[in-house]
Structure 1
Amino acid sequence: MTDKSKKVPSPIWQELDALCKEVSKDIASVADALKTADKQMASGKGEVWVGKNARAWGSDLHGANTDLSKQAHGFLADVQRERAAHPKEVTEAEADTERRILAGRMG
């Protein structure tokens, strides 16, 4: 007979924790992926390309750079919130259900 109240590590929490660590490791490079190009373009007033079309394109690039940074940090915050909201330990039955969910056998 098994103890139904015995707690075991939550597979979902463990996956969220691994994702959080992976995203945290790469957040700076992802968030700043367009930073150098944006700086070089200087919204079409830089040394790379100048003129009316350069200003329009540079403005779009600047917006994309800002959006990318916000979205990358927002994604990390979402993962951290999900991890914080999920119990670190669950019962064995709950862990079995979580493993099925992670394997795609349950939705």
Structure 2
Amino acid sequence: MKIVHPAALILALALLPSHAAEPAANSASIRQEHGDNVAVIRGETGIAVMNGETVELKDRIVYVNGRSFGTVPRDCEIKNVVSGEKRTLYVDGKIRERLAGK
């Protein structure tokens, strides 16, 4: 595995739901895209730690540093883009805001 940023660390969990007929393909990766650092989680579960920020997909809920960003569809793509001080979370290509009060 190639880590593209010295401060980047990636952890991936491959948990299979007991109700699935076929195993879900879970993956997590970190890369650079147009000068931005990008953490991507695909599937139903995973964790990505990049630049001190933790993005976790667990039980169909996405969390950033322990704060909920709401439920997500099964087998989705979570993308956390860090560009300088700006951070943007995407779920299946759409920007996701943190839930109020969470």
TM-score by length of 2: 0.25
Higher strand share: 2
TM-score by length of 1: 0.24
Higher helix share: 1
Higher relative contact order (CA 8 A, sep 6+): 1
Q: Which has the larger radius of gyration?
A: 1
